[in-house]
Amino acid sequence: MSGAEQIGRLLVSKGYVEDRWMRSTLAAAPGSATFVERVLESGALNEPELLSVLAEHAGIPAVDLSRTAIPLAALELIPRPVAEADLLLPLSTEGKRLHVAVDFTSYTPDTLAELQFITGMLVSPYAALPATVEKAIAAAYEARDRGEEAWHGEGLSREAPPRIAAIRPGEIGVRTDEVEIPTMELDELALEVADAEPVADEEIVHQETVRVGPARVLVVDDEPEILRLLEKSLRAEGYAVETARDGREAEQKLKGQPPDLVVLDAMLPHVHGFELCSRIKGDARLRNVPVLMMSAVYRGWRFAQDAREAFGADDYIEKPFHLADVLRRVQAGLEMPHGISAEQKEAAERAYKEGVEDLSHGRPEEARGALELAAKTDPFSARNHFALGRALRETGEAFRAMSEYEKAVELRPTHFAALCSLAELYLEKGFRRKAVEALERALRCAPDGRTREGIRTRLLRLL
């Protein structure tokens, strides 16, 4: 079955066109690009509606370029001749990824692999219509050549804050503006988890934890041979060692007495190692526990840098490793001071309060600057990332807002407001399944029965 026929069947199943019309149009316009142009010309649905169908067909989010704002600095990553030849338009570099609009009819995994190799960045594709992406490429690169900093799609007002266009999910009768995401006051939902009481066998001296007895090391790896090797070697060095074979077992063990260091494999079943690292660094009780990550898959200095900057790892080792190197890194990790200073904590708190104050008085640009400082100073505060996401969304920077909301949820998986905000953004970008996933997670941590019932109703509409 051709791509055009698959799209046609989707349109028929959703009630946009009749089967007879679809077949006759396919006969006259068998190619995907020509077929979708005929669909648009028919008036059966508009471009955002068609994009939601294409997103489902292509298995990637869609972007309505006619209603999107693009920071033009991202265009430096792809030369204009390449962009025009392959119909690729850089949208953003937020979240350490290159977000790029692609012609849904011609892009291939090989194209994305080449982009990743050339730019050194992970690539996230967004489906767009061929004619639209071609026009957008010409307009955006011309705007860059004129020295402009951003390009706004035709449907965007320069007076209003630009946002990524709302794209209706592919289901009949469901609109993004009908799915009302519950909202609550920012301060109510952005509070940090309170610090836990110190465990019984630790002494508190000047608010610093003093270790009593041998250092406790938690080793997490799904390869039995590596787990046994590290356990035996670390015990021989005098450490008290616990082991876990997957991310879920590690989370259970971390609920007890905190270890003094975690040796953590990246590729784990149930809970990914990078996600577990973020959760450790986002937990006020575990935040100062050093994490030494290992991986045989994620190799190179860029991954090591991402492991440190994006997920909070204190050190990173590639497999296969030299055992002596691991033991040296463990010792260094235990001797290294961790956590931010009291002065940094106070500075982050001041910046956060200033940003929230600006948000409450309708000054999102000022809020963004203050909250960026708060998130940079205390990067493992879910509250800081959530508030920054709010400010970025109000200034129309949807990609950055999504990245900040995702960081907030990584750091605190039960962050209700961040989950609701993510669901709303996923819907706007036409990624319905991700919106459902976020709402299902929000349902489990809703603050009261009334809110829970409201989310359940919205989920039923989407499902």
Q: Is residue 180 part of a domain?
A: no
In 3D space, the residue among 285, 296, 225 whose CA is nearest the CA of residue 251 turns out to be 285
Last residue of a domain, one of 300, 335, 370: 335
Domain range holding 137?
65-152
319 and 346 together in one domain: no
Q: Which residues contact 443 (CB under 8 A, 6 or more apart)?
A: 452, 455, 456, 459
**Domain match, 357 and 457 both:** yes
Contacts of 435 (CB under 8 A, 6+ apart): 169, 179, 423, 424, 426, 427, 462
Asked if the structure places residue 198 within a domain, the reply is no
203 domain residue, yes or no:
no
From 10-14, 178-182, 359-363, 426-430, the region with the lowest mean pLDDT: 178-182
Confidence class for position 30, pLDDT limits 50, 70, 90:
confident
Cα end-to-end span (Å), the chain: 27
Q: H or E stretch including 188?
A: helix 186-189
Total of domains in the chain: 4
For residue 365, count other CB atoms closer than 10 A to its CB: 11
Residue 205, pLDDT score: 33
Residue 194 exposed, middle or buried by CB count within 10 Å (0-12, 13-18, 19+)? exposed
Residue 162 has pLDDT above 50, yes or no: no
**Which is nearest to 41 in space by CA: 52, 25, 54, 18?**
25
Indicate if the pLDDT at residue 275 is higher than 60: yes
**What percent of the chain has pLDDT above 90?**
18
Give me the CATH number covering residue 259: 3.40.50.2300
Strands (E), 97-220: 97-103, 122-128, 150-152, 203-205, 208-210, 216-220
* 354 and 327 within one domain: no
Query: For the domain that residue 403 is a member of, what is the CATH number?
Result: 1.25.40.10
* Range 281-294 average pLDDT: 86
Residues 350 and 324 in one domain: no
Claim to verify: residue 368 and residue 298 sit in the same structural domain: no
**Residues 92 and 135 both lie in one domain:** yes
In a shared domain, residues 222 and 325: yes
Confidence (pLDDT) at 218? 96
* CB neighbour list of residue 386: distance below 8 Å, 6 or more residues apart: 186, 189, 190, 404, 405, 408, 415, 417, 418, 421
Cα separation, 302 vs 294, whole angstroms: 14
Mean pLDDT, residues 34-59: 76
Highest mean pLDDT (candidates 37-41, 155-159, 238-242): 238-242
Taking 60 as the threshold, does the pLDDT of residue 182 lie above it? no
Q: Could you tell me the pLDDT band of residue 259, with boundaries at 50, 70 and 90?
A: very high
Q: What is the pLDDT of residues 118-151, one digit of tens each?
A: 677 778 888 888 888 888 999 999 999 999 888 8
98 strand-pairing partners: 123
Beta-carbon contacts of residue 38 (< 8 Å; ≥ 6 apart):
25, 28, 29
Sheet holding 97-103, edge to edge: 88-92, 97-103, 122-128
Is residue 294 domain-shared with residue 365, that is, in the same domain? Answer: no
Residue 25 has pLDDT above 90, yes or no: no
Task: Looking at the structure, tell me whether residues 322 and 417 fall in a common domain.
Answer: no
164 domain-assigned:
no
User: Is a pLDDT exceeding 50 seen at residue 199?
Assistant: no
SS3 438: helix
Which of 335, 360, 384 terminates a domain? The answer is 335
In order of 71, 291, 313, the CA distances from 408 in angstroms are: 24, 19, 17
Between CA 6 and CA 3 the distance in angstroms is 5
The model's pTM: 0.45
Residues 40 and 144 in one domain: no
Q: In this structure, how many other beta carbons lie within 10 angstroms of the beta carbon of residue 445? A: 13
Which helix (H) or strand (E) segment holds residue 240: the answer is strand 240-244
The count of other CB atoms within 10 Å of the CB of residue 396 is 19
Per-residue model confidence (pLDDT) at position 168: 31
Residue 59 inside a domain? The answer is: no
| Residue 169, domain member (yes or no) | no
Q: Does the residue 90 lie in any domain?
A: yes
* 1 CB neighbour count, 10 Å cutoff: 7
> CA-CA distance, 425 to 94, in Å (whole number)?
15
Q: Give domain status of residue 107, yes or no.
A: yes
* Mean pLDDT of the residues in the chain: 77
pLDDT one-digit tens code per residue, 203-249: 333 334 445 568 899 999 988 888 999 999 999 989 999 999 998 89
Q: Report the CATH number that the domain containing residue 123 is assigned in CATH.
A: 3.30.300
Give the Cα separation of 25 and 44 in Å (integer): 13
Strand partners, 103: 128
Q: How far apart are CA 354 and CA 348, in angstroms?
A: 10
Let me know whether 270 and 238 are in one domain: yes
Residue in 22, 44, 20, 59 with CA at minimum distance from that of residue 434: 59
Range name among 23-27, 87-91, 327-331 with the lowest pLDDT average: 23-27
pLDDT band for position 188 (cuts 50, 70, 90): very low
Same domain assignment for residues 426 and 359 = yes
Express each pLDDT in 391-429 by its tens digit.
998 888 877 888 888 888 877 778 888 898 888 888 876
The answer, yes or no, to whether the previous bond of 320 is cis (omega within 30 of 0) is yes
